[in-house]
Amino acid sequence: MRTARHRRLFVRNLSILAGLATLAVLLGTPAQAYELQAMQPNAHGQVEFVMPSGNIGCIYTPAGGTPVYQTADGGAEIQCDRVEPAYIRGVLGATGGGRVFSNVGDQGCCGAGQVFRYDHVVELGPFQCLSTRKGLTCARADGHGFFLSRAMVEAR
């Protein structure tokens, strides 16, 4: 259930991401409260990471896909799965809005070796993701994205 507080949190996180992108371009460094975290791709060119809680894990696929996975539109894509309290997947492609799926047939989350530390941002292709103790926000510069936490899931 969405509440006004949850909507404000989602909009605040998107605003932080947009501000970080602007600051990074203008100053060459991320905003003071958040650090940029580098992520290494796997052998297929995808980037996998998990939140410190182990409850949310993500996989980024670059534009063009990989030999084993092609995105729906051929563009870049980020998928993040939340395990508890119910299994949910957030998906954001290179175009269109974020989507949330509750009926996920291939529940395989969260065994990635790279931990996405709290209060960090990662830039992956057209996406920026922000990790905080309150949850994970992934978005594009146009404001489309999703937020996942134990308490809430939202896509725009």
74-92 per-position pLDDT tens digit: 999 999 999 999 999 999 9
Q: What is the pLDDT of residue 29?
A: 36
Strand order in the sheet with 35-36: 35-36, 120-124, 127-132, 135-140, 145-148, 153-155
Contacts of 134 (CB under 8 A, 6+ apart): 9, 149
Q: What is the total count of domains within the chain? A: 1
More confidently predicted of 9 and 69: 69
Tell me what pLDDT residue 25 has.
35
Give the pLDDT of residue 79: 95
- DSSP lists the bridge partners of residue 135 as 132
| Residue 6 binned pLDDT confidence (cut-offs 50, 70, 90) | low
Decide: pTM greater than 0.85: no
Return the exposure string of 51-68: e unless at least 16 CB atoms fall within 10 Å of the residue's CB, then b: bebebbbbbbbbeebeee
Distance CA 12, CA 20 (A): 12
Confidence of residue 15 (pLDDT cuts 50, 70, 90): low
* SS3 assignment, position 140: strand
CB 50 within 8 A of CB 99: no
Amino acid occupying residue 93: G
**Which residue range is the domain that position 148 belongs to?**
4-155
